[in-house]
Amino acid sequence: MDVEASYRAHLPDLLHFATVLVGPHDAADVVNEAVTATLRRGSLSGVVDPRAYWFRAVSNTAASWHRSRFRRTRREHAWASSTAGVTGLTPTPDAARTILAGLSVQQRTALYLTYWLDWPVDRVAQAMGATEGTVKQHLARGRAHLKEMLSDER
């Protein structure tokens, strides 16, 4: 398998996927970190579907990125709240970002692969390293959360 050709072939889709998970500013970093980590482990000779393998790696890297970002954001909000009385300013989160942030990375991954890439549940399960039942659960919970948040916004 020509790893470089495979990477170049799948890069646009990986970048788009990462953009959905972490936003446009950090997508390239997440993809590069994920692909580099998979290549550090060795060749892809035993990998049946490199695309699904890299989608899973991007999803895992995005989850790690979100954990770090969550801790940083929590510190920033605590600082902003403590200074709000002094400055008279209070942070106002963007509604769409708030709604999407309410979904877990697994829910966003399942929704993206299912609805944006039109992958069947079995392929999504393979990419996520989960069972089909788990993917269906992530889809159901993600849709329910989106429906609830969108009805609250109205």
Residue type, 94: D
Return the axis-axis angle of helices 3-22 and 50-87, rounded to nearest 10°. 30
The pLDDT score that the predictor gives to residue 57 is 92
Predicted pLDDT of residue 131: 94
The pLDDT, as a whole number, for residue 75 is 62
Q: What is the mean pLDDT of each run of 10 residues along the chain (154 residues)?
A: 86 94 90 90 81 92 80 62 48 60 87 88 92 95 86 63
Q: Is 9 strand, coil or helix? A: helix
- For position 93, what pLDDT does the model report? 53
Angle at 35 between CA 56 and CA 67, to 5 degrees: 60
- For residue 15, the tally of other CB atoms under 10 A from its CB is 16
What tokens appear for 140 in the block?
Answer: 């159901």
Q: State the pLDDT at residue 10.
A: 93
User: Tokens for 152?
Assistant: 């609250």
Residue 2 to residues 8, 13, 36, Cα–Cα distance (Å): 10, 18, 15
User: What is the distance between the alpha carbons of residues 36 and 94, in angstroms, rounded to a whole number?
Assistant: 32
Q: What is the pLDDT of residue 89?
A: 42
The pLDDT score that the predictor gives to residue 77 is 61
Alpha helices (H) in the chain, listed in sequence order = 3-22, 27-40, 50-87, 95-101, 105-111, 121-128, 132-153
- Prediction pTM value: 0.55
pLDDT reported for residue 149 = 78
Task: Write the single-letter amino acid at 13.
Answer: D
